[in-house]
């Protein structure tokens, strides 16, 4: 949405820092009345600029100490093949992200696991059972450097 003004950008920056900020606090920080700020938020939500409010959870604190990046090759890239794979992968509870890719692999997944044994279970019970998969290549993150939940504004 290219018609965002400086106040919209300020609102979005504030919400990225603290999505639990009250409307009154947000309005004060961006220089609006609470009612004007509320109207702007409604417009940003209605136009899909804000598509939700989320808690950023610590995987380590929840005992998910491993992140795997999994490259998937399918038997083909027909619409039905892609659709069936995407429907199935959305049901995998440990898959944190899934992207259709260009290049050597069709998809890349970001998968959380408690440990190597847990990843083996995920691989066996979920990833290997996904429809149309012909190749799985897993890489394990040694250390996370950046995990930005938001874009820079």
Write the CATH number for 34. Answer: 1.10.10.10
In this prediction, residues 34-39 reach a mean pLDDT of 97
Q: What is the strand order of the sheet 133-140 is part of?
A: 95-100, 107-113, 66-74, 133-140
Alpha helices in the chain (DSSP H): 6-17, 23-30, 34-46, 79-89, 116-122
Residue 89 sits in the same domain as residue 128: yes
**In total, how many domains does the chain have?**
2
DSSP state of 1: -
pLDDT, averaged across the chain: 94
What H or E segment, with its residue span, contains residue 111? strand 107-113
User: Could you tell me the pTM of the whole model?
Assistant: 0.82
**Confidence band (pLDDT; 50, 70, 90) for 148?**
confident
User: Is there a single domain that holds both residue 128 and residue 70?
Assistant: yes
Residue 2 is predicted with a pLDDT of 66
Which range of residues forms the domain containing residue 105?
66-140
């Amino acid at each position: 949405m290219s018609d965002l003004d400086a106040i919209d950008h300020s609102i979005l920056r504030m919400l990225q820092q603290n999505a639990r900020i009250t409307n009154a606090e947000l309005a004060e920080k961006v220089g609006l009345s609470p009612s004007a700020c509320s109207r702007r938020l409604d417009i940003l939500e209605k136009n899909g600029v804000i598509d939700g409010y989320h808690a950023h959870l610590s995987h380590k604190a929840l005992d998910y100490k491993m992140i795997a990046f999994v490259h998937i090759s399918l038997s083909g890239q027909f619409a039905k093949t892609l659709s069936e794979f995407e429907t199935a992968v959305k049901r995998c509870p440990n898959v944190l992200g899934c992207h259709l890719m260009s290049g050597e692999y069709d998809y890349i997944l970001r998968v959380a696991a408690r440990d190597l044994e847990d990843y083996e279970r995920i691989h066996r019970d979920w990833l290997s059972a996904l429809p149309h998969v012909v190749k799985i290549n897993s890489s394990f993150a040694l250390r996370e450097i950046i995990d930005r939940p938001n874009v820079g504004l």
